[in-house]
Amino acid sequence: MLCWVPSHVGIVGNEQADKAAKSAVAPMDMTIPVVDLKKHVKMLLYSKWEEQWDLETNNKLHAVKPFVRHWPSLTSRKADTLLTRLRIGHTRFTRLHLLFGEEPPMGSLSYVRPPYTSRMHKL
């Protein structure tokens, strides 16, 4: 016949060790603050967007803006519009012949972009 004899019952150090061991396996309440969760989701979405943008190399805008980051806006709308037009190559001079129904500056057969276009300037 076998009989269990609790040999460590009532010993303070052992009771504390048993309590600590039981608390290690108990489920913990680990709540993540909503602010941290939103920040993490935003970072993941931004990362996915940037990966997708890097694959879109044949996009016209990708040549002008090869990154996803926002361009800083200027204080006046007029200056901001001017800078944006310079970035994308839509200035009054590059499209002036279209407004007046004239031939492109380099002739209709060889016209790709006028030599004075500002699209490739680093602004």
Q: Where are the domains of the chain?
A: 31-68, 72-105
> 53-64: per-residue pLDDT in tens?
888 888 777 777
Q: Which amino acid is present at 121?
A: H
pLDDT at 89 over 70: yes
Q: Which two tokens stand for residue 79?
A: 């200056």
**Percent residues over pLDDT 90 in the chain:** 17
Cα angle for residues 99, 103, 105 (degrees, 5° grid): 100
Q: Pick 5 or 122 by higher pLDDT.
A: 5
> 44-55: per-residue pLDDT in tens?
999 999 999 888
Region 12-17: mean pLDDT is 78
Whole-prediction pTM: 0.46
pLDDT at 76 over 50: yes
Q: Which residues, 6 or more positions from 96, have their beta carbon under 8 angstroms from its beta carbon?
A: 102
* Average pLDDT over all residues of the chain: 76
Distances (CA, A) of 67 to 7, 46, 49, 61, 81: 69, 11, 10, 10, 20
